[in-house]
Structure 1
Amino acid sequence: MSMQDILVHTEAGVSTITFNRVDKKNSITEAMYAAMADALDAAGQDAAVRCVVFQGDMAIFSAGNDIADFLQQSAQGAASAAAVGERPVWRFLRAIASFPKPLVAAVCGPAVGIGTTLLLHCDLVYAGDNAAFSLPFVNLGLCPEAASSLLLPQMLGYHRAAEALLLGEPFLAEAALEVGLVNRVVPPSECNALAQAQARKLAAKPLTALIETKRLMKAGQAAQVAARMQEEGVSFTRLMAGPAAKEAFTAFMHKRHPDFSQC
């Protein structure tokens, strides 16, 4: 990972994690997951940090997993429950799901795969009017992650969640606003600034009250989220080694349409 792929900056009680790999559409490598997990761990333990913001570029939030890196890392690890727990991507997902302080996100442009599912664990989400959310797991021969198979039906209702997860087609910022995935839609040039302003409002409030309020809101589903995330991780790892995923990734790398007729 380039030292610049993930930027972490802390000021006025707000720690900002920035995707900064625009030339690769902010696709996320294992090293970037590790860096973000470390940043969350540090922010959680630092009493001076009261809020964390995720942001990308005005044109792209994240294209999700870096496919080439993902394939390389997957080939090196055994498809086991132990591997699920050890890889940086799963450590990041556990960190964001259990983070005790407020999480804010500013999303402009495409937010693919984990670029969308990580938002389910944020407390406030602001979107540029160019945002496009997609969950193409099935199209890659995979299953959802980040407990999205649990949280999306709760948020969107079953049929809308099924449309998003089974078809994997993008939905735009206004649709995300309608179903409650985002709090507000603004021009892309204003999105990061709005998220920062809201984060600073949070940072000015008593941290103990923020943490306890968030804990109470999430208390009823915390154990469910952890269990579902583990279950998804085991299934995801198993499907990664299956014929459908191999065909999807091979087609992607060779820039052709996949053929799932034998899958």
Structure 2
Amino acid sequence: GASGEGNVERIVDRRRSRKGRVEYLVRWRGYSSESDTWEPETHLSACMSYVHEFNRRHLERDAALLRSTRGPPCEPGGGRSGGAPGPARGRPAGETGRHPAGTRPGEGPHGDPAPEPEPAATVAATSPRDPHDPRGGPLPLQLRYNASRPDFLFLSPGNTGLMEAVTGATGAVGKRRLEERSTFDKRLRVSVRQTESAYRYRDIVVKKQDGFTYILLSTKSSENNALNPEVMKEIQSAMATAASDDSKLVLIGAVGSVFCCGLDFLYFIRRLADDRKKESIKMAETIRTFVNTFIQFRKPIVAAVNGPALGLGAALLPLCDVVWANEKAWFQTPYSTCGQTPDGCSSFTFPRIMGPASANELLLGGRKLTAQEACLKGLVSQVLWPGTFTQEVMLRIKELVAVDSQVLQESKALMRSTSRGALEQANERECEALKRVWGSLQGTDSILQFLQKRTELC
């Protein structure tokens, strides 16, 4: 399910991937542990309270480990010399603090949920005895959890002996745990303000930022950010919200190294097998509505193309007002290869912006364009350096957001006034052609052949 707060039951584990990205194991509400999935923190922006609660429980367990590795306080007349550490307590001999085999953090030995700890923001441990206390009481240490800094333990003011009292008391294992904690996820911190204004769908991530709405393709129902009816409906929903709120513009990007691989033909072929005529009409109508959303959107649309854009993913770019591309991105519309006719108004926009000859190379021959070639032909506004692509995009977005919203909308209306009707007509013609092609047996066979070699394209 989507990573919205209402769909997540709790976070049960955390790991770091081979690329160094922190991921959380999510227990989905209404599903068993067999359906748990590993999700990067960027996918959990709408339910960070669960992430913070998980991190807090980890701190509590670490503090409990700290207490268990310290010996009991030295009693007068006892058999130990003053202050010498005694044997570990609070844990049976031979137990190392690891979870029993076959269980995850937060679960009992049989997979049932373990009792939740009290949601205390402060975890207390004990330090060497307070020299200023006439009763010889322990000096309290406060290990504080800060929601905006989940990777750090904070010592409350006045306690200056953190390294001596904590790392010296826990030994090598405790010290290593704290060192690992200090490096945890420094790059993916999410502020409270960002979390409150973020929304999570199943196949897209939508962030409402200062002056604009950021829509990122991050598909779970398809591969390589491909477009199926579910993905399209989520994008339409996000754009409808942006059209009615105070967003001055919409920025469209993608998570990962691929921008969009066009239509999800694997999704389509499964439905064409049931009722080819009916499903071809249904799919074409879905595309027509989706493309019209871009044609009729009154606020500026900016596309940040971070990687390959194929098929409908490339055809939509002329319907955006500004297109910035990563230099590593490339563009292709292999319609003839997959037995499909042009979509996304490309039969109208491509000849208009790059001339009939170049458009035919792309729409009929499936020629692949580099980012620089796409820029020269007018498909891309500007090519940006890969290493600083996101930063450059955000700088330019801030410049656009600084413009008055009425000026932006009126300017777009002037530039689109002569082409809007033609675009809608082109979209209608293209979808009618798709119904005819997909409704034929030859069209279905062409899609099957394309699926067999699609890995060569994306």
TM-score by length of 2: 0.52
Matches within 5 A, 1:112-127: 112-127=310-325
TM-score by length of 1: 0.88
- The match for 1:200 among 381, 384, 398 is 398
Residue 111 in structure 1 maps to residue 111 in structure 2: no
Alpha carbons of structure 1 residues 55 and 243: separation in structure 2 relative to 1, 3 Å: same
Q: Which amino acid aligns with 2:437?
A: L
Equivalent in the alignment of 1:31: 230
- What per-residue deviation string (whole Å, max 9, x for no partner) do you get for residues 87-120 of structure 1? 2x32221101111101111112210011101111
Residue 43 in structure 1 maps to residue 43 in structure 2: no
- What per-residue deviation string (whole Å, max 9, x for no partner) do you get for residues 120-162 of structure 1? 1111111111111000112111111111101100000010001
Could you tell me how far apart the structure 1 residues matched to 2:237 and 2:366 are? 30
Please give the secondary structure, in 2, of the residue aligned with 1:54: strand
Deviation at 1:79, TM superposition (A): 5.0
Q: Which amino acid aligns with 1:63?
A: C
Deviation at 1:214, TM superposition (A): 0.4
- The match for 2:295 among 79, 85, 97 is 97
Equivalent in the alignment of 1:8: 206
Deviation at 1:238, TM superposition (A): 1.3
- Specify the structure having the higher radius of gyration (Cα): 2
Of 155-164 and 241-250, deviating more is 241-250
Alpha carbons of structure 1 residues 85 and 247: separation in structure 2 relative to 1, 3 Å: closer
Please give the secondary structure, in 1, of the residue aligned with 2:226: coil
Residue 154 in structure 1 maps to residue 352 in structure 2: yes
Deviation at 1:175, TM superposition (A): 0.4
Matches within 5 A, 1:198-237: 198-237=396-435
Q: Which amino acid aligns with 1:7?
A: V
Alpha carbons of structure 1 residues 196 and 70: separation in structure 2 relative to 1, 3 Å: farther
Could you tell me how far apart the structure 2 residues matched to 1:255 and 1:151 are? 28
Could you tell me how far apart the structure 1 residues matched to 2:299 and 2:351 are? 24
Equivalent in the alignment of 2:449: 251
Deviation at 1:170, TM superposition (A): 1.2
Number of aligned residues: 255
Q: Which amino acid aligns with 1:102?
A: P
Please give the secondary structure, in 1, of the residue aligned with 2:207: strand
Q: Which amino acid aligns with 2:292?
A: R
Q: Which amino acid aligns with 1:174?
A: Q
Deviation at 1:52, TM superposition (A): 0.3
Identity across aligned pairs (percent)? 26
Q: Which one scores higher on RCO, CA 8 angstroms, separation ≥ 6?
A: 1
Could you tell me how far apart the structure 2 residues matched to 1:80 and 1:27 are? 18
- Structure 2, unaligned stretches of length 5 or more? 3-200
Please give the secondary structure, in 1, of the residue aligned with 2:337: helix
Q: Contact 1:153–1:160 at 8 Å: present in 2 too?
A: yes
Residue 130 in structure 1 maps to residue 328 in structure 2: yes
Q: Which amino acid aligns with 1:45?
A: S
Deviation at 1:253, TM superposition (A): 3.8
Deviation at 1:183, TM superposition (A): 1.6
Could you tell me how far apart the structure 1 residues matched to 2:299 and 2:267 are? 31
Q: Contact 1:142–1:245 at 8 Å: present in 2 too?
A: yes
Q: Which amino acid aligns with 1:124?
A: V
Q: Contact 2:280–2:439 at 8 Å: present in 1 too?
A: no
Deviation at 1:240, TM superposition (A): 1.0
Could you tell me how far apart the structure 2 residues matched to 1:110 and 1:206 are? 33
Could you tell me how far apart the structure 1 residues matched to 2:403 and 2:353 are? 27
Alpha carbons of structure 1 residues 82 and 250: separation in structure 2 relative to 1, 3 Å: closer
Q: Contact 1:134–1:168 at 8 Å: present in 2 too?
A: yes
Alpha carbons of structure 1 residues 73 and 44: separation in structure 2 relative to 1, 3 Å: farther
- What per-residue deviation string (whole Å, max 9, x for no partner) do you get for residues 190-235 of structure 1? 2233233222222221111111110110111110100110110111
Please give the secondary structure, in 2, of the residue aligned with 1:24: coil
Could you tell me how far apart the structure 2 residues matched to 1:174 and 1:211 are? 29
Q: Which structure is higher in helix share?
A: 1
Could you tell me how far apart the structure 1 residues matched to 2:280 and 2:411 are? 33
Deviation at 1:82, TM superposition (A): 7.0
RMSD across aligned C-alpha pairs, in angstroms? 2.4
Equivalent in the alignment of 1:260: none
Equivalent in the alignment of 2:253: 55
Of 204-213 and 181-190, deviating more is 181-190
Deviation at 1:181, TM superposition (A): 1.2
Q: Contact 1:127–1:173 at 8 Å: present in 2 too?
A: yes
Please give the secondary structure, in 2, of the residue aligned with 1:140: coil
Could you tell me how far apart the structure 1 residues matched to 2:310 and 2:452 are? 20
Equivalent in the alignment of 1:182: 380
